[in-house]
Amino acid sequence: MVDESVWHISHLDLTLRMVLAVVLGGLIGLEREWSNHAAGFRTHILVCIGSASIMLLSIYGFSQFVAEPNVRTDPARLAAQVISGIGFLGAGAIIRNGANISGLTTAASVWVVAAIGLSVGAGFYYPAVLATFLVLVSLFLLNKWEKHLLRNRRNQDVIIKIHDRPGMLGRIATKFGEQGIQIKNLVMESASGALTEPDGTGTMELRFTLRTTSTDKLLKAIEEILTIPDVIGLESGSMPSAKLTALSGGRSISGQG
């Protein structure tokens, strides 16, 4: 005998689940929005509402067929499609820039928000709230701890614009070596829109990926490199602009912030 009351939900309970999905998804999205990531406040809310709606549909949307002898109801079927299908949003949040990949954490948060929405839709309230709390701890508190722990182990990207003269690369590499800075990767290319010097010398851009244990050592190496006459300018997306400007000596120089 089938207990048909299991397959029905009141409007009040349905509203509660949808509103809770908005709140929990919005809390995680707010952290992502605050951190200026691709998938932010509204995206996480929409994913959580959508997941909760699909879960409610999967459980209660086909209640009229439960009593049919030839129909087998599987409330988890639509939920399984959400978990596998949410990947397209995660893929859109992932950005590759050379050797650096960003957006993986945001993609993971979107996937987790889908799971939270499914939990809310199924009435699995405590795990949904607990998962939201743990995700916020991971994104906010552990993110600060990770940055503090690994602040000296991340790669630093530096672009140096030079006059293309013999021995310039060796002189610059020596300055990094003197400070114990490891060159992980180097890309050389002609500077776009650059003018050739009267003696026929062109300009080059040297794109360094560096590994250092001390920001001060990197700043010291940059200071010495900028004393080389044929260095035209320098860019670093990972170094503060204020510190770099102090070393510029009138050259073209830019940094983070």
Residues 82, 126, single domain; the answer is yes
Residues 142, 171, single domain; the answer is no
Classify residue 190 as left (phi > 0), alpha (psi -120 to 50) or beta.
beta
Residues 14, 133, single domain; the answer is yes
Domain boundary among 149, 172, 203: 149
Domain boundary among 149, 178, 205: 149
Over 70: is that where the pLDDT of 38 sits? Answer: no
Domain boundary among 89, 121, 149: 149
Over 70: is that where the pLDDT of 237 sits? Answer: no
What pTM does this model have? 0.55
Mean confidence (pLDDT) of the chain:
77
DSSP 1: -
Residues 144, 227, single domain; the answer is no
Rounded Cα distance between 45 and 21, Å, is: 7
Q: Which residues make Cβ contacts (< 8 Å) with residue 122, sequence separation at least 6?
A: 55, 59, 75, 79
Q: Which residue has the tokens 């300055």?
A: 175
Read off the pLDDT of residues 112-123 as tens digits, 9 standing for 90 and up: 899 999 899 888
